[in-house]
Chains A and B, each alone.
Chain A
Amino acid sequence: MKKYLAIFLVLTMFVALLPTAAFADGIRLFNGKIEIAEPLEHAAKVYEEATGKHVEVESLGGGVDLQATLKQYYQAGNMPEIFVGEGKTDFDNWTGMMVDMTDWEWAKDTEAGFVDETGALIGFPYTTEAIGLAYNKSILDKAGVDPASITGPESMKAAFEKIDAMKDELGITAVIGYCANATELYWSTAQHLFGNYLDAGLDRDDTTYFDLLMDGGKLDTERFTHFAEMVALFNQYSDPALLVSGNYDMQVSGFAAGKYAFVTQGSWIGSSLTNQYKDLYAAAGNFECGYVPYCFEEGIDTILTNSPSWWAVYKDGNVEEAEAFLNWLATNDGQKIMVEEAGCVSPYKSCTAIANDPFAPAISAYTAAGKTSAWHWLNQPGNLAQDYTGIIFQDFAMGILTVDDFVADMADTIPQCIK
């Protein structure tokens, strides 16, 4: 009896020792963009071959609540060295637990890092995304509409009317693929599109309308009414089957198949065109893409570009190895994989790789011309769109609300969230 007990005890000891040995080596990266999981793992492998240091890439996404998962990790004492955050709301959870990376090598090569209120550089940028009114160049050419001529609400309306009149001739379903489904696409309407009210046409550091929003949820009625009129135009000229009851896949595949001249999605659909929908895209002639600014007021000539999320480094983890890996990833070796395989637009000045993405030339052109604005919507409360304003875009699309009702409902509802 005692002998068995002794054997049992010894065995338990080994079992208990196993996990501590397994986790002792390498660092973990908690990636929130599941689309780039494979390229990232490839990058980690190349890095391991070069340096012998292991990086474990853990990719989550597609509706998983990243911050909630991270909190569980934190409670379990299982925090990854590097983790993702989508701006102020997310990073506020981790105040005082992130490393200030100001002096790290990569920081000298970019200005796209996330800086918190105290001036500490806490977010590593890994891609740039753009929000603009995407168009299908071959349809516009056929319709005889010059995208450069769309510079304000009147010219936008004229272009929409012209294309709408030629719908059958062009073989398209609708002028624009705009979807306001509040359950599935609240982020597209109430974050990305709404972000244009906050930033379009402004300098990158201009926070006039964002500050107003954060001051008890106030809106600039004149600017917002102009914005609402543009949304009304989208409501009018969108595909009715897509407008309220559609979803993201319908919207993007429809654009890839050349059913819409415009689509209200940003640069991330580029990789869907060339991968997921490459057959549809090829059948539609692999058309060129570009951006028109959301010019709801005359003179708005910028698209919105930003890092959509950043990677922070956990203070109590293996900071040195995290630093080495991030520095490596920001060099040309790392960026080559990120750009060519993951389809990222590099935020690093020294990067020479060019992405094989239909939207990359347009983003580069706007960036080179200095015609970009920032994404301040990233810093609005995380649930504003999902729980409060997304449904108002949907009501507007259904025709329940007029432009004035829409403005009034937004002005009435946002203060419930931003007190």
Chain B
Amino acid sequence: MTEATSGKKSLSMTLLALGTALLLVSLYCDFTKTYSGIGAMRGAFLVIGALLILAGIYYIPTVLHHRAIINCIFLFPLLFTFAVTVIIPMFVGFFYSFTDWNGVTFTRMVGFENYAAMFKEPAFIWSLLLTVLFVLVNMILVNLVAFLLALLCTTKLKGVGFFRAAYFLPNLIGGIVLGYIWQFIFSNVLTKILSSPYSALAKTNTAFIAIIVVYVWQYAGYIMLIYINGLATVPKDVLEAAQIDGASDIMTLFKIKIPMIAATFTICTFLTLTSAFKQFDVNLALTNGVGTVRGFMGARLSNGTQMIALNIYNTAFARDQYGYAQAKAILFFIILACVSLLQVRISNKREVEM
């Protein structure tokens, strides 16, 4: 028994030591840019080193913590991936927002300059306000259209399955493609039908409406499916009871169906809210954010239809101000996080009430 334990202990120690050594060698080669000779093996060393360390941890002679160790080893791939793709970039991004990073190098730390600058930039404030307006309008419109479609698709019409699929279909097309399709419709088809020389996309206010139309068209089908699901959960006996009591369809809708699916409304409202906030692809493909705005904060703006996500993208990729864009992205993150927290709170409250 003791022999086995000590054997295990020495095995575990050897594996750990070997693994750490390989890891360190590979990291050393990478940092010093030694890519030839032993450096050419750095990738293999890294992987093998990491596996040896895992094996070493697995063989640690302990009965008490053995189960915990195994759990950790099984969780490791997921946690590692999550850290590499989400946690670490977030902190690095937070750090970059305090620099003048241009995507390749940064020359100095600028403190809160980036954060102060964005509130003095009329174009950004415009994008922010426009996005809020866009979110409010869409939250109402998408839900209204989706709910009406859901009501339509839960009646005993012929070919309801076809209609459901047809309404949902736009959601399966990627935003960029969809943007270009609609650009063609606005520029080449609607101009001919209305015999107007210019498409709706050429003027800021009509272009904004155009984006809303396309967005509702794209998203209402998806939300409709959720409402259909919600409506299907309304118990039949309650509806029958109402019918026997002589309630009209309108009364059934407002007094029974809507209150019964209140939770669905909450979900759909927040789904549209967060996704409208993040609107990017349709915006990019349809107008690329251009549009004239006069006299906003005393300036003439050229980014009349630019939502906040596109504004951040352009700041980074067109203007090469990655640090500044990162600061804007942090603000955007905070706004979205607040909205999401609010969502969780409200839905929890409602669930308790029910």
Is chain B a partner of chain A in the same complex?
Answer: yes
A positions within 8 Å CB-CB of B: 5, 9, 12-13, 16-17, 19-20, 24, 65, 67-68, 71, 74, 89, 93-94, 97, 181-183, 186, 240-241, 243-247, 381-383, 386-392, 394-395, 398, 400, 409, 412-413, 416
Interface membership of chain B positions 250-266, coded 1 if the CB is closer than 8 angstroms to chain A and 0 otherwise: 00000000000000000
- Is B10 interfacial (CB 8 A cutoff)? no
* CB–CB B44/A245 < 8 A: no
Within the complex, which residue of B52, B188, B287 is in contact with A183, where a contact is CB–CB below 8 Å?
B287
With known contacts A9-B48, A12-B47, A386–B292 Cβ distance under 8 A: no
Contact residue among A5, A19, A183 (Cβ-Cβ distance under 8 Å from B201): A183
Please count how many residues in chain B sit with their CB below 8 Å of the partner chain's CB atoms: 43
- Of B72-80, B143-151, B233-241, B317-325, the stretch lying at the interface with chain A is B317-325
Query: Once the chains bind, are A387 and B48 in contact (CB under 8 Å)?
Result: no
CB pair A389 B302 closer than 8 Å: yes
Quick check: A391 and B290 within 8 Å, CB to CB? yes
Chain B's closest residue to A240 (CB) is B197
Contacts of A19 in B (CB 8 A): 43
14 CB-based A-B contacts, threshold 8 Å: A67-B317, A93-B102, A183-B183, A183-B290, A244-B198, A245-B186, A245-B191, A246-B187, A386-B314, A387-B289, A387-B303, A391-B291, A400-B292, A409-B300
Q: With A183-B201, A183-B288, A245-B201 given, name 17 new contacts (CB 8 A).
A: A5-B55, A13-B48, A20-B43, A65-B317, A182-B290, A183-B286, A183-B287, A244-B197, A245-B188, A383-B314, A386-B318, A387-B290, A388-B302, A390-B290, A398-B198, A412-B300, A416-B123
The complex places the Cα of A13 from the Cα of B49 at a distance, in Å, of: 10
Q: Is the CB of B197 within 8 A of A241?
A: yes
CB distance from A36 to the nearest CB of B (A): 24
A398 to B191, CA, bound (A): 14
Q: Who on chain B is nearest to A65 by CB?
A: B317
Of residues 123 through 145 on chain B, the ones whose CB sits less than 8 Å from some CB of chain A are 123
Q: How far is the CA of A254 from the CA of B203 in the complex (A)?
A: 25
In the assembled complex, the CB of A402 is this many whole angstroms from the nearest CB of chain B, namely 15
Nearest CB on A from B235, distance (A)? 51
Which residues of chain B from 292 to 324 have any CB-CB distance to chain A below 8 Å in the complex? Answer: 292, 299-300, 302-304, 314, 316-320
Q: How far is the CA of A264 from the CA of B64 in the complex (A)?
A: 80
Contact: A398 with B48, CB < 8 Å?
no
A89–B187 CB distance below 8 A: no
Taking CB atoms, residues of chain B closer than 8 Å to A241 are: 191, 197
Q: Say yes or no: A398 contacts B300, CB within 8 Å.
A: no
Q: Which residues of A contact B51 (CB under 8 A)?
A: 9, 12
Q: How many angstroms from the CA of A89 to the CA of B321 in the assembled complex?
A: 12
**Residues A383 and B40 in contact in the complex (CB < 8 Å), given A16-B47, A391-B292:** no
Given contacts A9-B48, A93-B102, are A20 and B302 in contact (CB under 8 A)?
no
A89-B188 CB under 8 A given contacts A17-B43, A20-B40, A391-B290: no
Q: Quick check: is B41 within 8 A (CB to CB) of the other chain?
A: yes
Chain A residue, CB-CB nearest to B36:
A24
| Chain A residues positioned under 8 Å from B316 (CB to CB) | 68
Q: Which residues of A contact B48 (CB under 8 A)?
A: 9, 12-13, 16
Cβ contacts under 8 Å, B291 to chain A: 391
Q: Does B331 touch A at the CB level, under 8 Å?
A: no
Q: Could you tell me the distance between the alpha carbons of A12 and B199 in the complex, rounded to whole angstroms?
A: 58
| Contact A416–B47 (Cβ < 8 Å) | no
Closest beta carbon of chain A to B324's beta carbon, Å: 13
Instruction: Closest A residue to B40 by CB, please name it.
Output: A20
Bound Cα distance from A183 to B199, whole angstroms: 12
Q: Does B104 reach chain A (CB closer than 8 Å)?
A: yes
Taking a contact as CB atoms under 8 Å apart, the answer to whether B104 and A94 are in contact is: yes
List the 7 closest pairs (A to B, CB-CB), nearest first. Answer: A383-B318, A16-B44, A245-B187, A245-B199, A71-B103, A391-B290, A244-B198
Inside 8 A of A24's CB, which chain B residues have their CB? 40
Task: Output the least CB separation between A405 and chain B (Å).
Answer: 11
Binary CB contact string for chain B from 29 to 43 against chain A (1 if under 8 A, 0 otherwise): 000000000001101
Contacting pair A387 B314 (CB below 8 A): yes
Q: Kindly state the separation between the CA atoms of A394 and B204 in the bound complex, as whole angstroms.
A: 12
Chain A: minimal CB distance from B132 (Å): 21
Which residue of the partner chain B has the closest CB to A183? Answer: B288
Contact of A247 among B41, B187, B289, B302 (CB under 8 A): B187
Chain B 163-202, CB-CB to A under 8 Å as 1, else 0, gives 0000000000000000000010011100100000111011
CB distance from A7 to the nearest CB of B (A): 12
Q: Are B40 and A244 interface neighbours, CB within 8 A?
A: no
Complex CA gap A228/B203 in Å reads 21
CB distance from A381 to the nearest CB of B (A): 8
Report yes or no: A392 in contact with B104, Cβ–Cβ below 8 A: no
* Chain A minimum-CB-distance residue to B46: A16
Q: How far is the CA of A291 from the CA of B305 in the complex (A)?
A: 37
How distant is A228 from chain B, measured CB to nearest CB, in Å? 16
CA A398 to CA B41, docked complex, whole Å: 63
Bound CA–CA A16/B104 (angstroms) = 28
A68 to B103, CA, bound (A): 8
Which residues of chain A are within 8 angstroms of B47 by Cβ–Cβ distance?
12-13, 16
